[in-house]
Structure 1
């Protein structure tokens, strides 16, 4: 559907534009939160977007923390494996070395919506 594609393209352009703003004004933010993180691919894609938008990634001058957000019970159960995969990845490990912190978020509110009484079977 062209309407959906057009809306998605506008959203992608808006997000990319915001990422480009970050590199020009370091006070805008210093954390990129990746919602519904369920794979190392989500984190590597965030690195790619940051790098493509001119931000510094996995270098001494990097100022952005990459924050994973686990929201479903399944994601929480898989979190130890995800953390191990991230730490084993050379790009993430280098980024983590320069940022000197690992930030993991857990969202209880979405866990209830996704896995509670109202969740689809």
Structure 2
């Protein structure tokens, strides 16, 4: 996990902890890349809004939980009803570059920066 929590993306989905590896098979017909990124909620229940954006250049990004919530306020909104959650999700990015998640809940607001990189080999 990385970030200050209590809602964390799982670092196992990131190379070297902060690099989201983009592979050719992640590329969508519209040119964006979609990656599975699981989130863990620890010790928090209540509303949460997760937004994603590119911070080094123009380009779109988004994050969505797979089975809970809805698009709202420029991000993905969900009501977490338990204090501990395992949330399958996807992150969509425009291509290689520097991105950030903005994660807002009733008692916290955190920013998590990550790099999207092309695959090696």
| Structure with more relative contact order (C-alpha pairs < 8 Å, separation 6 or more) | 2
Per residue, is there more strand in 1 or in 2?
2
Could you state the TM-score of these two structures normalised by the residue count of structure 1?
Answer: 0.26
Query: For the pair shown, which has the larger CA radius of gyration, 1 or 2?
Result: 1
